[in-house]
Amino acid sequence: MCSQQESLLPEININGTLNPTKSTKKSKAVLITSLYPEYSEKLKSMYYEHTTVTGQGLAGLKPWILLTPRDQKPAVPPCTRAVSMEPCFQVPPTYDCRAKKNADLGALVRHVTHCEDVEQGIKLVD
């Protein structure tokens, strides 16, 4: 799972005991969005049933994106860091008004690029 491979979420302590020598820091929230309810249900049950090694949740400053399978095969790697915090505009217009024809808007402007998880989508970048 991407969250474990990239150490996005705390390790699960199967024994159910916390290590008392580790100090707990302030709590952080993790937002996970998915179109597949079974994904979030599995994560929720995993952390309700087992304590974490550190006793707290972790969150990164840059979002991580789960990549969709292609041709019935899982993506390798299963997730990647987003290039910016901006959301993906998944269905952008394809018409270039100046050229008066369809164009690749992700290649026209310096601060716009294609999304990591949706090829036809575009997003703002630095």
Average pLDDT over residues 10-33: 59
Cis, bond preceding 92 (omega within 30 deg of 0):
no
Sign of the CA dihedral 63, 66, 70, 73?
positive
**Residue 1's pLDDT band (boundaries 50, 70, 90)?**
low
**Residue 94 pLDDT greater than 70, yes or no:** yes
Average pLDDT over residues 58-77: 74
Contact indicator for 18, 56 with CB cutoff of 8 Å: no
Contact indicator for 98, 92 with CB cutoff of 8 Å: no
Domain assignments of the chain as residue spans, ordered by start: 1-81, 83-126
Give the tens place of pLDDT for each residue, 106-126. 888 888 888 888 888 888 887
What is the model's pLDDT at position 52? 52
CA 53 to chain centroid, in Å, comes to 22
Average pLDDT over residues 71-76: 86
